[in-house]
């Protein structure tokens, strides 16, 4: 009987510790890199809470380039004017008076050319960039 009680106690403690154990915080990825085939688009989205005061998006593309768009809550803030851009960056900061507010920020890269392009895109908040 004592053995059964000990096993139950140990199992109960293990369950309690599992509930109290810290878990990894869920964080949106800050970047993506990969190949876009002709006609393909890739977007990276991150949500900015009330503790975010600045956002920066960055994108690079090889070969014939790509078209980039910077969005907040599905509204375009900035975009490249051509499909052949090799690099793009845009930012909004409260210190510059152009940070809209918390929301869903996104960068999209689109390959409108006839060959594959390697693309890297990032959405950065606060201290993730200088």
pLDDT of res. 27 = 61
Kindly indicate whether the domain formed by 31-128 is annotated with CATH number 1.10.3720.10. no
Q: What is the pLDDT of residue 21?
A: 36
- Give 11-58 pLDDT, tens digit per residue: 443 443 333 333 333 467 899 999 999 999 999 999 999 999 999 999
11 secondary structure, DSSP code: H
Query: What ranges do the domains of the chain cover?
Result: 31-128
Report how far apart, in Å, the C-alpha atoms of 30 and of each of 64, 115, 117, 126 are: 25, 26, 20, 12
**pLDDT recorded at residue 95:** 93
Measured in residues, the chain has a length of 130
Q: Which residues have C-beta within 8 Å of that of residue 86, sequence separation ≥ 6?
A: 60, 61, 62, 65
């Amino acid at each position: 009987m004592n053995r059964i009680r000990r096993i139950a106690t140990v199992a109960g403690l293990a369950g309690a510790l599992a509930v109290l154990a810290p878990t990894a915080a869920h964080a949106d990825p800050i970047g993506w890199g990969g190949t876009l085939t002709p006609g393909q688009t890739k977007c990276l989205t991150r949500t900015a809470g009330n503790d975010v005061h600045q956002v920066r998006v960055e994108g690079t593309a090889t070969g014939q380039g790509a078209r980039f768009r910077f969005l907040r809550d599905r509204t375009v803030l900035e975009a490249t004017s051509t499909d052949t851009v090799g690099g793009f960056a845009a930012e909004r900061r409260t210190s510059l008076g152009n940070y809209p507010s918390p929301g869903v920020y996104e960068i999209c890269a689109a390959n409108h050319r006839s060959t594959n392009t390697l693309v890297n895109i990032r959405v950065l908040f606060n201290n993730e960039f200088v």
